[in-house]
Amino acid sequence: MAEGETEKEYDTRKAIDELRERFQGLTTALKENSKSPLEASLHFCQEFCQVLVEHAGRWKTDEDPLPLLEVYTVAILSFAKAASCLSSECENVPLLLEKLSLSCAELLLLLPQHVPGALWEEFQSSMKLAHSLLQESGSTQLCLLSVLAQQDGVWSNTTLSSILSDQIPQTEQVREYLELEGATLLNMRIKHLIKVDSVDKAAVLAKMCSEYPGYEGKGNFKQTYLLCICMAKSQEQLMEEVRNDTQKHSSLYAQGYYI
């Protein structure tokens, strides 16, 4: 046990080291597998999932989220390092990567406001390397996590903070932020805010996204915004939105956009 380290911290570090070794063993077995590339890849994905579930099950999201972040960080980087040996014909590879990315992003949104510096730096460096390795094979599944890893924290972006506090920044700042995050991540943020009863903040963000031309037809932001208004029981605000939509469509009809 390292100096100043608690027994709980020691057990966590030991479990993470064991996880890293088991993933390394799977990668070594994959490289030495005599089966066809497809069969070897299918077997690797199956074993990978079993190891991940076994280790992740040691902690509960609502009680010990930080060790779980370590688990996902190790898992994603380990999978990325093995990616060059996996068959492009194996459908489980992109599916597993996507599931890993979304699950990790969902966990990140639940984390405390300030993640310990060393852990966040490890996440950042691991996602940068993993994203780079996967890009070599044309994979884009880690784009979402790569965006989060570029920031100082999950909720620390100054433009996002301004939007959520209803202090809307300049249009150019908003545009840059929305383009950086993307519709998928913003949708996840909004759903999380609703889940933790921050409906007013979710409404502000959803409205901002619904008015951004680049997200037209993506994310159902308008419907989510109206849902937030309904949840907040602001009947007057809801009716105002309905009137605005009606006026907008009437104007487009008059201009000949609708036949």
DSSP 82-97: HGGGS-TT-THHHHHH
Is pLDDT above 60 for 259?
no
Residue 38: closest CA among 89, 80, 94, 85: 89
> Picking from 74-88, 92-106, 115-129, 226-240, which range would have the lowest pLDDT averaged per residue?
226-240
Integer angstrom CA distances of residue 37 from 137, 166, 188:
15, 53, 35
Q: How many CB atoms lie within 10 A of CB 241?
A: 16
- Residue of 14, 146, 150 whose CA lies nearest to 80: 146
> Which residue do the tokens 């509960």 mark?
60
**Tens-place pLDDT, residues 172-188:** 999 999 999 999 999 99
Alpha-carbon distance of 124 to 25, in angstroms, equals 24
Between CA 86 and CA 88 the distance in angstroms is 6
Distance of CA 236 to the CA centre of its chain: 34
User: Model confidence at 167, in pLDDT bands (50, 70, 90)?
Assistant: confident
Considering the entire predicted model, what is its pTM? Answer: 0.85
Using an 8 Å Cβ cutoff, are 90 and 42 in contact? Answer: yes
